[in-house]
Amino acid sequence: MRDIPLKRRGVFVSSLLRIPVVLVILAVFLSPFWILATISFKPVSDVSSYWKFPSSPTFANFATAISKAGIFGAIGRTAIITVSVVVLEVVVSSFAAYPLARKCSRFNRVVQAFILGVMMVPPLSILVSLYSVIVDMHGVNSYWAVILVLLTYQLPQGIFLYTNFIRSIPRALDEAATIDGCGPAKTFFHIILPQLTPVTASVVILSSVNCWNDFQFSRYILQAARMNTVTLSISQFFSQTYIDLNTAAACAMLAIVPVVVCFLSLQKYFIQGMIDSSVK
Amino acid sequence: MKKAMVFALVLVCCVSVFAQAQAESGSKTITMWVSGAGAQVDAMKAAVEAFEAQSGYTVEFSAPGETYEELMKTKMAANDLPDVFDTHGWSVDRYGEYLMPVNDLDFFANVSRQIIPTISNDKGEALVLPFDMDLTGIVYNEDVLAEAGVDVDSIKTWADFEAACEKVKAIGKTPITLGASNGFTVGWLYDRIAPSFYITDEANSKAADLKNGIFDEAIWASISAMIDRWVSNGYFNADVVTGDFVGDITAMATNQAAFDFIQNVAIMMAGGINADAHLGMMPIPSNSASDEPTLISGENVALGIWKETKAKKGAIELLNYLAQPEVAATIAAATGNVPALTNVKLDLGAVQKYIDKHAAVEAYNYFDRDYCPSGLWDVICAAGQEVLAQKPNAVQNTAKQVKDSFDALYGN
């Protein structure tokens, strides 16, 4: 130790001190998953603590989740809705944000305020009228209705993020493109769009999490059991006279697998996006 | 980018067309919604699938679980109800104006005379096909009471009940288990206690007042004061405020608790957790020695037909099919309740002997359904949670809240 310079020794000690802190944080973050796993592998007759892994784990809850709740179908439907909303949101909000960011006219400021205003409307306050409109449009039990409604509530956030990000891109780039003969559309596609990757990562993460976890709108629009999404499939195990926590936990375990796989395989893009976004 | 845009548009178009094709419902499609979950829904779903196979109709079956009532309220507001739906005890007061009378349907001749008044409106029109009748009181654990030296048949009044709780507490077990984080368990507690304070004692009955929209706040406060005393005396489980319904059943099944203010279905659920559990059902004590213990009865699983349905023929066929004795028996058996059709013969297993034992006990409909305006249930649950949490002045404050809500909902 004597040979190690004082500064390096300090770094070594502080690194050592960090380990227990990191372990505590890790434990806090992993504990919900641990509890979920223990409950999902427990038979109904096992009434031991949720923290304790069952002495004789069972896959029966997973079998019920697959056969009775149709969790794989639900994952597929949720994926269709999530991907559709996210793709549309990225396309529409980036298109909308460009003129809003570049032309600071009074009209555009009003438009932007209106879009932000939509974010402040509590979804529950318009539920009955929204539902009535969807019924009149024959949108109940259809993908397009739930996609449209979710998109409506996701767009303001996307437009807000894209607008602020585009404002931070120097106007000189647009001017240079114009001098080189680009119109607004060509400037957007060739100059602005390639630089939007960081903020797109943020938009994708935020809205895909919201869509994947959506319960409220899906509950009202997708009423038939054959259209159940992940959250709706899980909710059918809860009622006023019956709660099947074990099968619900098994459903949740299966439902988080695609999200975890997706995040792990794409995390370098997400992390890079966040870093780029913060530097910008 | 162009490729991405084209892909996105094609994707959305395909999805929409696919979904639209699925959403098209011909005249052979019947939408059906049921409340509840578990065995009750499984039995209903199996019966519906059998109906589909033999009739050629397609039934869009949906069991939204805990959100059922919330969804139905929205659907009523939008006047877009399912063709056939479960009224879960509210066939007349809440859903009455949306339902088609069923007096002329084939199954009606077999509906028990006992339940007809409950499911009929002022014009004498029966509105639903009832599968079972609740006949319930307080669920108790025989082994725990035996260990504590409590004779369940000697519990006639709330004072007797409190004495029994003391004995159970003395052996280190929980006298009453309740999971108030699930608000409905609190509602069940009040639903069981309230009749003994307001209704069952004929000399002091407030039934007529309640029916006329007059709510006595002081009586409600005395109910809450009793519950508050139970909390102070340590009769409830330590986690009464944060505990849940599953914990309730588990405590009863594992001989940790003596009493549970819950439906008979708990006896069957406890059997699934511990086959050796011995749970019974007792009448609800009275509030005075001059009164008698009572039971709670009422409509439970019952299906009605939306009066504006476009699938009326199919909906009637479906109800007639489900009313067949062998089919209706499977649905009633899943609830642990007495069948509401006279041609259904059913042995309720562990529950049957208590139904037989208390056959002569007078039964009253659920307090909130019969004597309170629709919508008060949530207020009762929330107010009761405050009492159980022993918030400052909760007994008086919540009595006022319940009265104010009662008056507002009644239109006073």
* Mean pLDDT rounded to a whole number for chain B: 89
Tell whether A109 is covered by a domain. Answer: yes
Closest Cα of chain A to B75: distance in Å? 8
Does the structure show a pLDDT above 50 at B20? no
Structure tokens at A221: 């629009």
Q: Are residues A47 and A94 in the same domain?
A: no
Q: Are residues A223 and A193 in the same domain?
A: yes
Q: CB neighbours of B399 closer than 8 A, spacing ≥ 6?
A: B217, B218, B220, B221, B224, B383
Q: What's the CATH number where A195 sits?
A: 1.10.3720.10
CATH architecture entry for B135-297+356-410: 3-Layer(aba) Sandwich (3.40)
Does the structure show a pLDDT above 60 at A84? yes
Query: How many Å apart are CA B308 and CA A120, to the nearest integer?
Result: 37
Q: What fold is seen in the domain B27-134+299-355?
A: D-Maltodextrin-Binding Protein; domain 2 (3.40.190)
Tell whether A41 is covered by a domain. Answer: yes
Q: Indicate the pLDDT class of residue B26, thresholds 50, 70 and 90.
A: very low
Q: Indicate the pLDDT class of residue B17, thresholds 50, 70 and 90.
A: very low
Beta bridge pairs of residue B130: B302
Quote the pLDDT of residue B359: 83
B62-66, B165-169, B306-310, B401-405: range with lowest mean pLDDT: B62-66
Final residue of a structural domain among A58, A79, A103: A58
Domain of residue A53 covers 1-58
Final residue of a structural domain among A31, A58, A85: A58
For residue range B49-103, list pLDDT tens digits in order. Answer: 999 999 989 999 998 888 898 889 889 988 889 999 999 888 888 899 999 999 9
Report CB contact under 8 Å: B15, A147. yes
What ipTM describes this predicted complex? 0.74
Counting residues of chain A whose pLDDT is more than 70, the rounded percentage is: 94
Query: How many Å apart are CA A237 and CA A97, to the nearest integer?
Result: 42
Q: Are residues A122 and A203 in the same domain?
A: yes
> Long-range contacts for B343-350 (Cβ within 8 Å, ≥24 apart)?
B343/B110, B344/B110, B348/B264, B349/B268, B350/B267, B350/B268, B350/B271, B350/B279
Closest Cα of chain A to B35: distance in Å? 8
Mean pLDDT of B143-148: 96
Does the structure show a pLDDT above 90 at B307? yes
Closest Cα of chain A to B19: distance in Å? 5
Quote the pLDDT of residue B336: 76
Q: How many domains does chain A have?
A: 2
Q: Are residues A107 and A48 in the same domain?
A: no
Contact residues, chain B, for A224 at CB < 8 Å: 31, 60-62
More confident residue, B346 or A150: A150
Quote the pLDDT of residue B24: 42
Q: Are residues A23 and A104 in the same domain?
A: no
Report CB contact under 8 Å: A131, B31. no
Domain extents for chain B? 27-134+299-355, 135-297+356-410
Report CB contact under 8 Å: A147, B5. no
Closest Cα of chain B to A192: distance in Å? 12
* Mean pLDDT rounded to a whole number for chain A: 87
Query: How many Å apart are CA A157 and CA B119, to the nearest integer?
Result: 50
DSSP assignment of B97-110 equals: GGB---TTSGGGGG
Tell whether A173 is covered by a domain. Answer: yes
Quote the pLDDT of residue B25: 41
Report CB contact under 8 Å: A147, B12. yes
Does the structure show a pLDDT above 90 at A1? no
Let me know if the fold of B27-134+299-355 is the same as that of B135-297+356-410.
Answer: yes
Contact residues, chain B, for A229 at CB < 8 Å: none
**Which residue does chain A place closest to B7, by CA atoms?**
A87
For residue range A35-77, list pLDDT tens digits in order. Answer: 999 999 998 878 788 898 988 889 999 998 998 888 999 999 9
Q: Are residues A35 and A78 in the same domain?
A: no
Quote the pLDDT of residue B89: 83
Q: CB neighbours of B240 closer than 8 A, spacing ≥ 6?
A: B178, B179, B180, B231, B388
Query: What is the 8-class DSSP label of residue A53?
Result: P
Q: Are residues A12 and A108 in the same domain?
A: no
Quote the pLDDT of residue A73: 93
For residue range B124-141, list pLDDT tens digits in order. Answer: 999 999 998 888 899 999
Tell whether A63 is covered by a domain. Answer: no
Residue type, B347: D
Report CB contact under 8 Å: B23, A141. yes
**Other CB atoms within 10 Å distance of the CB of residue A41:** 21
